[in-house]
Structure 1
């Protein structure tokens, strides 16, 4: 499913049917559809079936004209929380072997804080029996105002030292009137990060994460496949600069999905009725690790065949909106 703008630029929800989008009747946003499903005690798919569909649109034209929106948002961006979890993916066998070797040779004290947290996830991130496991790394990325639609370019602030991609699966949630979170499904995500800043000191991670991001274009309803293979590319002047496949899904993660969701929604302030939550689930590859330095105008392309059309976004440098000398005193 997607959210998009009609010919008169009003909002709509659509079902993807190959190259055609069938507009869902009686709703203008995915959030509205989700709240109706909650009220009626139906799944999202059952609510769509009950609502029916109206006119159709050409999917390619909607994408070309940048009329496809992210698949879930909130009309008030302050009520859309963008967050993420890191150190959730096992990565390559070589990295795991290296970690194990460090543990055997130097013990726990030889590990960095990041590797120690990764080890905790490996040992306790997939609990059984319904009990929560170890906490993952968690970070706040911003509210809905830092989200750009598929096809649009990320504003990269002038002070940024890097604008690197992070290809991920994103969980999309709405908090119901009962104060409980409801998962609508999943989407492709690009959790762009300032890796140069982050590398200076891990305590700079919160600064490095406060960057624009995107997800979509499609919402995949239902459960997340246990094993997913995607591909991420960076294009510069139309040519592929860098390309890599990435695995995700629970078979490739040291935390279970249920554990990640519990540790996000265990906080009372994350259970405000009507709010939207967008949770980036972590990545296993990044071009920065391969020595790539992105430039203004580079284009990121992330594709996962099971998730429909790829997520494509460019980059554009923007001035800093605030200067030290501009503080107004009341």
Structure 2
């Protein structure tokens, strides 16, 4: 089941559900995906059961809503400060050639010759997929921002004026709500653009935190339930309506050095991420970047990312913010 949200002129939200390839219909009496998910989490029922109980109403043209700019992020929080955008890196194996190369480097090279990134990658290869009941190695982790940084499908991803780059990262994101008793519940997975500044990151790996404090977009639809083991998608950049760059990307545990469960554990093990009612959008990494192929994005470029089984593709144009004067005042 795919679930999404449409903004209405009066400020209300219409929640839509559908099966892949089928028509979307409104969920009766649903104020938002957040409200539906919390109702399910706090009542011990599945999201599908709550939706079935409420029933479905009118058919909705999602493509028309997308074109009209009415699609919202597939989950938002009434208070944006209670939606958390986070992610993990060095989690994907990449292509077969890259995988073989990385295996040779990380198993044959002496420890002292490895970069910190390669050491982290090797840790994932060795213990990122623990057996049930065991705890695996913790991954690289980063914070992107709160709900004010979540950009709706179709809206512009805005690069700060001081940024050195604004590049896409096609990823899978896990979507979670925290129940009243502090238990995290996964709604499902969505396509995400974990928008980053790769030039800043390349200067020094200690600048990673700076490079990740950027907007992100996800959706337009959430695939409710578990993710497939092997996810196949595409990432492209359009400039002036023409394809500038395009590559396939893969995700899912068959293409990762960590399990989703291990990455989830090392996020939610922190009590501050288990506050009742909060929303978490946690991005799981990628092995495909246009930046790696020498592409320099420009304002007006359009990012488009999609994956089979995850609904409509995610599209966002790139914009650059005007320069700001930041004044720190003394109280």
Aligned pairs for 1:154-165 within 5 A: 154-165=157-168
Normalization by structure 1: what TM-score?
A: 0.96
Q: 1:6 aligns with which of 5, 8, 17?
A: 8
Q: How many residues align?
A: 328
Q: 1:7 to 1:53 in 2, by over 3 A?
A: farther
Q: 1:104 to 1:280 in 2, by over 3 A?
A: closer
Name the CA distance, whole Å, in 2 between partners of 1:3 and 1:75: 14
Aligned pairs for 1:66-85 within 5 A: 66-85=69-88
Matched, 1:227 2:230: yes
Work out whether residues 147 and 214 of structure 1, in 8 Å CA contact, stay in contact via their aligned partners in 2.
yes
Tell me what 1:314 maps to.
317
SS at match of 1:14: strand
Q: Unmatched 5+ residue regions in structure 1?
A: none
Q: Deviations over 1:53-103 (max 9, x none)?
A: 222321121001111111112111100010000000011232233334334
Q: 1:282 to 1:163 in 2, by over 3 A?
A: same
Matched, 1:61 2:64: yes
Comparing 134-143 with 6-15, greater Cα deviation is found at 6-15
Name the CA distance, whole Å, in 2 between partners of 1:235 and 1:188: 18
Tell me what 1:23 maps to.
26
The alignment's C-alpha RMSD in Å is 1.4
Name the CA distance, whole Å, in 1 between partners of 2:23 and 2:8: 14
Q: 2:260 aligns with which of 235, 257, 261?
A: 257
Name the CA distance, whole Å, in 2 between partners of 1:74 and 1:66: 19
Tell me what 1:241 maps to.
244
Matched, 1:42 2:39: no
SS at match of 1:165: coil
SS at match of 1:203: helix
Q: 1:100 to 1:219 in 2, by over 3 A?
A: closer
What's the CA shift for 1:12? 1.9
Q: Unmatched 5+ residue regions in structure 2?
A: none
Q: 1:63 to 1:224 in 2, by over 3 A?
A: same
Name the CA distance, whole Å, in 1 between partners of 2:39 and 2:302: 37
SS at match of 1:307: coil
Name the CA distance, whole Å, in 1 between partners of 2:181 and 2:100: 46
What's the CA shift for 1:9? 4.0
Normalization by structure 2: what TM-score?
A: 0.96
What's the CA shift for 1:40? 2.4
Q: 1:90 aligns with which of 85, 88, 93?
A: 93
Matched, 1:329 2:308: no
Tell me what 1:267 maps to.
270
What's the CA shift for 1:19? 6.3
Q: 1:100 to 1:110 in 2, by over 3 A?
A: farther
